Amino acid sequence: MSLLSLGRGLGSAAMHINAPRPVFSYITAKGDTIPATVPLSAVGNITEGTIVVEYRDDNPRSSSDGYQNIFYLGTSGSSNQVALVKYMANGELLFRVTRNNTHYLKFDYKPDAIVPGRTNRIALSFKAGGVAVALNGIVIATHNTNLMPASFADGFDIGQLAQGGNIFAGDISEFSFYDKALSVHDVRRLSRKTDIVDAEFSAARDIIAFMGQSNSLGDGSLVEAPSYTHAIKLLSKDLSQGIENYIDPYGYAANPTFANLFNSTNNKFSYGGVVCDAVMGITGRETVALPVNMGGTGLVDPANWGVISEVTGQSVMNERSYAAIKTLQTAQQFGNLKAVVWHQGETDAASGVSGANYASVLTDFYNVIRRHVGNVPIITIALHDEPPSGYLTWNDIQTAQKAFTYPNHTVVSAEGKEAQSGNETHLSATGLIDLGGDIADAITA
């Protein structure tokens, strides 16, 4: 193809009359060969832009030496650059926007976000005043820097040698460049990827997602699990298994699609089956439980569900939040996402997070969910009665949860539900069954 041909490889963007058009676009599915380099002389002076790359990596969790360049725009060395590099020691993706050896966008993304053998799409826009990065349809980072690289003398390297590194071992199937920094909306749209797993959609199928930590996973005795009246289903954390028959325990999968949501031992009873069985009894529609949870994880802590800001003006979505939202998006390829149930707060209470801070972060978190999966109803579970010891702000967070307001949202209180004797942090099977009935009522109301 001609280097300067317009509009090649836009995919869904080409369907929109006013959609941005790339300066160049190479797509192997259209018969193109991805070039090793694109000289700056073919593009002209670059002061801003958007790069879109689609690639497959069969071994994202590599453990060897050196670096592999996925794309690199800049000068010799690393003084001025826009780059995405794979760090071979642990498979992390290194995102960089650098001016005169100072990183203005700098963050690393764990390889657990990349599904082996599946195609991934990344879009990165940059200009003075803002940088945005999206992975598979989810905005994972923004930066409000006013400084861009001073020059791009060497043009583009695509899948070639990184500084002190190696040629990228994966397969790059698209590389496109726009000479404008596109909006966050366009960046998210151009990176959209819906086939993380193979899915068959059914309009007659409702999916209920259960998010949060240990009480969302469930810690009740399996021998006390009830029998279910209806043929409820499960979409497990191993999304590649598709829709299965529901079975307790529901929160464990030996090979989760995203390791950020993996609990190595979770052979306990949850309320997921109780909720789905009651909802299906009322609606008559196939109802599926979707676990999107991880024990021992706090909301406000950036190492768990929160946002990481290592650099002034920079926000990076935690890999667990990415995994959760990508799981919700993937579920929408199977059926209707009927509700998201959020049950969490124990870890934040143990670490002394205030109720006001918790509520503020929860609002931001719900905003991100809605931005990526639409106006799905959300149910917040307020904490049950405070355990005897070990929690600094349990009642404060519980009070904030009970008073929490948000559009298309309901609060269900776990107050008074039976806790385990000697382990009052966790609800008993009886408490989980009772709470499950209340959650089902809220969903169907």
Convert 229-261 into a string of H (helix), E (strand) and C (coil). CCCCEEECCCHHHCEEECCCCCCCCCCCCCHHH
CA dist., res. 397 & res. 414, Å (int): 13
How many residues are there in the chain?
Answer: 445
On the question of a cis peptide bond just before residue 249, with omega within 30 degrees of 0, the verdict is yes
Residue 215 lies in a domain: yes
Give SS3 for 281.
helix
Q: Are residues 242 and 380 in the same domain?
A: yes
Residue 364 lies in a domain: yes
Q: What is the mean pLDDT of the chain?
A: 90
Residue 195 lies in a domain: no
CA dist., res. 103 & res. 99, Å (int): 6
Q: Are residues 297 and 151 in the same domain?
A: no
Confidence class of residue 96 from pLDDT cuts 50, 70 and 90? confident
pLDDT of 177: 96
| Domain closes at, from 145, 162, 190 | 190
Residue 1 lies in a domain: no
Residue 267 in this model has a pLDDT that exceeds 80: no
Please work out, in degrees rounded to the nearest 5, the angle formed at the alpha carbon of residue 99 by the alpha carbons of 145 and 34: 100
> Residue 222: which CATH number?
3.40.50.1110
Q: Are 374 and 405 in contact (CB under 8 A)?
A: no
Stretch 425-440: mean pLDDT: 98
CA dist., res. 110 & res. 320, Å (int): 10
Structure tokens at 60: 């994202």
pLDDT of 18: 67
Which region among 91-105, 342-356, 386-400, 416-430 has the lowest average model confidence (pLDDT)? 91-105
Stretch 325-335: mean pLDDT: 97
Those residues with Cβ within 8 angstroms of residue 254's Cβ, 6 or more apart along the chain or in another chain: 238
Q: Are residues 364 and 280 in the same domain?
A: yes
Stretch 269-283: mean pLDDT: 98
Q: Are 393 and 386 in contact (CB under 8 A)?
A: no
What's this model's pTM, rounded to 2 decimal places?
Answer: 0.90
DSSP H or E stretch at residue 212: strand 205-212
| Domain closes at, from 190, 221, 237 | 190
Confidence class of residue 26 from pLDDT cuts 50, 70 and 90? very high
Q: Are residues 170 and 248 in the same domain?
A: no
Which domain covers residue 21, as residue numbers?
Answer: 11-190
Structural domains counted in the chain: 2
Which region among 7-11, 315-319, 426-430 has the lowest average model confidence (pLDDT)? 7-11
Residue 296 lies in a domain: yes
Confidence class of residue 165 from pLDDT cuts 50, 70 and 90? low
Q: Are residues 256 and 337 in the same domain?
A: yes
Q: What is the DSSP letter of 225?
A: P
Residue 199 lies in a domain: no
Residue 394 lies in a domain: yes
Stretch 208-237: mean pLDDT: 96
Residue 349 in this model has a pLDDT that exceeds 60: yes
pLDDT of 148: 75
